[in-house]
């Protein structure tokens, strides 16, 4: 009887955590309105609510979440730690150059390699494990931001303004958290809701979301394009992204 009780106790998830075998974590669906509390970070580390970035003449929000710079040259694709983000960037480059003066708010959000920091030139147990007030955390975030500036200057990253998600809140992976990944901050209700439920990768970058100025989801996320040698898959094309954006801003085809 005692052994059964011990086994039962071991099988219980840690307090406040779901088991890894739960059904796929929920993500925003077409017609949903994102939480008003959703925020991204500026280069200074200051948090900005996503919907506060909207201007009076904004017609739609083009939200791109991508894998940012690698500090390890031997583990880099065009300067980014995520090869898929680098290979898919021409889609967003085209969209930005064509539509950034058409009342489309482009919110490009760079994410660090939080699940493989040492591989890409950062010390381990930093971005997720440490609070953003810790000196080491601040130092590494500053290095990440400086690397983004460098990639903006050589046009790998085409956007004049880049935002940051240093703790991967938008694409928060609840399965990895349940399995023991350390997270130093509070788990907010909206975390992970931008991670497409159809994508099983740890990060799910890059992903493109189209939102109304009020934060309503206008289209299913554009996600899942993979350019690796072992996994090659095209789920969407630039034509499909453009058609969806044109519909969002009322451009007649």
pLDDT in tens, 165-218: 999 999 999 999 999 999 999 999 999 999 999 888 999 999 999 999 999 999
Tell me the pLDDT of the chain averaged across its residues: 91
Q: 156-194: buried (b, 16+ CB within 10 Å) or exposed (e) per residue?
A: bbbbeebbbbbbbbbbbbbbbbbeebebbeeeeebbbbb
Instruction: Single out the residue of 42, 48, 40, 70 nearest to residue 151, CA to CA.
Output: 70
Q: Which residue has the higher pLDDT, 175 or 15?
A: 175
What does DSSP assign to residue 33? B
Cα–chain center distance at 240: 21
Residue ranges covered by each domain of the chain:
24-249
Distance CA 42, CA 51 (A): 14
Q: Say which residue the tokens 């991508």 belong to.
A: 66
In whole angstroms, give the CA distance from residue 29 to residue 219. Answer: 8
pLDDT tens digits for range 136-167? 999 999 999 999 999 999 999 999 999 999 99
CATH number, domain 24-249, options 3.80.10.10, 3.40.50.150, 3.40.50.12280, 3.40.30.10:
3.40.30.10
Name residues whose C-beta falls within 8 Å of residue 102's C-beta, 6 or more positions apart in sequence.
59, 249, 251
Number of helices (H), then strands (E), belonging to the chain: the values are 5, 9
What is the pLDDT at residue 13?
A: 41
pTM over 0.75: yes
CA distance 11 to 165: 33
């Amino acid at each position: 009887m005692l052994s059964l009780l011990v086994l039962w106790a071991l099988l219980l998830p840690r307090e406040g955590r779901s088991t890894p075998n739960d059904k796929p974590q929920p993500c925003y669906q077409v017609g949903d309105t994102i939480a008003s509390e959703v925020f991204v970070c500026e280069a200074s580390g200051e948090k900005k609510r996503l919907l506060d970035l909207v201007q009076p003449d904004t017609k739609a929000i083009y939200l791109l979440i991508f894998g940012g710079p690698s500090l390890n040259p031997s583990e880099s694709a065009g300067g980014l730690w995520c090869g898929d983000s680098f290979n898919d960037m021409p889609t967003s480059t085209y969209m930005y150059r064509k539509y950034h003066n058409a009342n489309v708010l482009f919110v490009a959000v760079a994410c660090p390699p939080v699940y493989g920091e040492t591989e890409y030139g950062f010390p381990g147990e930093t971005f997720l494990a440490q609070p953003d007030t810790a000196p080491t955390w601040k130092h590494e975030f500053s290095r990440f931001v400086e690397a983004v500036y460098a990639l903006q200057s050589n046009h790998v990253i085409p956007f004049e303004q880049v935002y940051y998600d240093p703790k991967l809140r938008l694409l928060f992976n609840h399965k990895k958290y349940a399995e023991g990944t350390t997270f130093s901050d509070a788990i907010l209700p909206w975390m992970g809701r931008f991670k497409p439920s159809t994508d099983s990768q740890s990060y799910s970058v890059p992903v493109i979301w189209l939102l109304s100025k009020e934060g309503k989801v206008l289209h299913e996320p554009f996600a899942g394009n993979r350019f690796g040698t072992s996994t090659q898959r095209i789920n969407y094309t630039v034509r499909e992204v453009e058609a969806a954006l044109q519909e969002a801003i009322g451009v007649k085809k």
